[in-house]
Each structure stands twice: as C-alpha cells, then as structure tokens.
Amino acid sequence: MKFINFINNLDKRWIYLILALCIIIPFLFPVGFPMKTTPPVKSIYDFIEDSIPEGGVVLIGADYDPSTMAELHPMAKVVAAHALSNNLRVLFVTLYPQGAGMAQDVIDNVLREWNKSNPDNPKELGKDITLLAYVPGVSAVVLKMGEDILQTFNEDGYGNKLSELEVMKGIKNYNNINLMVELAGSSVVLTWLIYANGRYGLKMGIGTTAVSAAEYYSYLQSKQAIGMLGGLKGAAEYEHLLDEKKVYGGRKDASIGMDAQSSAHIFFIILIILGNIAYFVKKRKEGK
C-alpha cells in the first residue's frame, strides 16, 4: 500500500529526471537494438530506387519548423541523399516561411556530406538540387505548381532565376516530377494530397511526425500516398536502408537516437503499468 501511495504522490520531476537519464545513457553507451523496416518506409525507398530513371525529379516538401525538426530533418536529409545517390534531381519546396531555413540547412548538409564521401561524382547547388523560393498562399501555390512551376516561384531560395538553373531543365509542372515526399507535422499534408495528388495526380509519399502518423495511415490505405515515414523511427528505417547501399557517409541522425527512443519507450511502458495498477488499487480501496 505504501508503494501505491508513493506512486500516486510521486513528484513529476523525478519522472523527468529518470526520462532524461533513459535518453542520455544510450547515447554514451549504445546498445544497438535490432531494426526492422516496415512496408510504408520500404515502398518510398523502393520507388526512388527502382521506379525513377536517372535525371528524374524528386520534390521534397519542407513544411516544418524547428519545433518538429528533430523528427523531420533526418528524413529530409536521408531522402535527399538517396535521390542524389541515384543521380536524380532534388527540388525542395516550402509553404511556410520557416521551412526555407530548414530546407537550406538540409541542402548544405547533404551536399557537404555527399561531396565528402563521393568526390568522383560531385553534386552542385543549382545543378542537382535547389530550393524553390517561399511564396505565400499555401493551397494557391500547390495549385499553381500544377500549371507552371517556374512561374509560381520565379526564383530559387537563393535569389537565382529558376529559368536559368540547370536543375529546372525540362520541368514544367507536376507531370515532370516523379515523386513528391511531403515532410510536415501539420495538416498541410492534406493540402498536398487534395490538390496536387487529387487534382494533378502527383505521386506522393508522406513523412510526418509520430503524432500525425496514425492519422495519415488512412491515406496510405486509400493509395493517395505510396508510403510514409512516421516519426524518428521512420527516418531511422530509411537510414538503415540507405546504409546498406554504402554510398552516403552523412551522420545517421535518426538511427543514433533509436536506442534512446527504445529505452524511453520501455520506461513509459513501465510507468503506464504502474500507473494503472495504482489507479485500480486506489479505486478498489475507495470503493470499499
């Protein structure tokens, strides 16, 4: 009984502290929990790997900000690196002002890491990868891109005229884009699904935060999206798949965190069990 009272009256700060330790310790002493790739992740990977010819275009939507960066940033990096490794062209697009900073950081990072590990096949900004300038309007932007991408943006995110960039050669609208991977933790995913996929038939994959993952499963089932990366785990699975190809030496942000994620989950499961026992015992005692 003492124990039950202890649980019910536990100061929350103890839980915070233990949780912090659960996360920090695996970073210092990695265990390497086994990783299994799930079908929604694999189908995006396979699509980029097998279904897009060389020179094809992958559009990545960076519609997130620092608050969900921990989950979505690793996805952006790994998908972009994978596309580059297959000699595809990568375009970043964002419907939110803060997304531009995120995308630029990804581009810098991926280009630097790629050129470090593949000096014989260097990639260049403006030739292989770029960011389309941020233009306000959300759904209006998505719709206009279906007609003419160059006109929607005019410039890239670095102030260059899009029509002069090599990476934009032959790209007119969604017809010339082989796959879009939308990374967002908000309902902007729906905007892309409704307008770009629904109206223009753009092939789409979703990368989303774990919070929204459950919600977007239904769009996988309806085949509106070909696959989904859900949370840090989804990013880690993708890193795992790309790692088997051994072409990219960038840091595996998501995979490093997986041990910590697993140990935190174990801690939470224990808490939920203890909490429920305490709740039912207390309820029973009060009932008597």
Query: Least CB distance from residue 184 to another protein, whole Å?
Result: 13
Q: Which two tokens stand for residue 263?
A: 């140990």
Q: Rounded to the nearest whole angstrom, what is the least distance from the CB of residue 99 to another protein in the complex?
A: 10
**3 state SS for 91-132:** EEECCCHHHHHHHHHHHHHHHHHHHHHCCCCCCCECCCEEEE
CA angle 137, 104, 231 (to 5 degrees): 80
Smallest gap from Cβ 55 to another protein, in A, equals 6
Choice between 116 and 251, CB closer to another protein: 251
- At a CB cut-off of 8 Å and minimum separation 6, what does 207 contact? 72, 75, 76, 79, 181, 182, 183, 184, 228, 229, 234, 235
Nearer to another protein (CB atom), residue 19 or residue 35: 19
> Residue 127 corresponds to which tokens in the numbers above?
């030739």
The residue (of 84 and 133) whose beta carbon lies closer to another protein is 133
Q: Are 168 and 150 in contact (CB under 8 A)?
A: yes
What minimum distance in Å lies between the beta carbon of 236 and another protein?
10
Would you say 82 or 203 has its CB closer to another protein? 203
Spatial CB neighbours of 20, under 8 Å, sequence gap ≥ 6? none
The C-alpha R_g of the chain, in whole angstroms, comes to 22
Distance of alpha carbon 133 from alpha carbon 131, whole angstroms? 6
Minimum distance between the CB of residue 288 and another protein, rounded to whole angstroms? 19
State which residue, 166 or 245, has the beta carbon closest to another protein: 166
Q: How far is the CB of 195 from another protein (least distance, A)?
A: 6
Which stretches of the chain bind another protein, using CB under 8 A? Answer: 13, 16, 19-20, 23-24, 27-28, 53-56, 67-71, 73, 97-98, 100, 133-136, 139, 143, 147-148, 151, 154-155, 169-170, 172-173, 175-176, 178, 190, 193-195, 198-199, 209-215, 218, 221-224, 230-233, 251, 253, 256-257, 260-261, 264-265, 268
Task: Please report the sign of the dihedral spanned by the C-alpha atoms of residue 77, residue 58, residue 127, residue 117.
Answer: positive
CB-nearer residue toward another protein: 45 or 134: 134
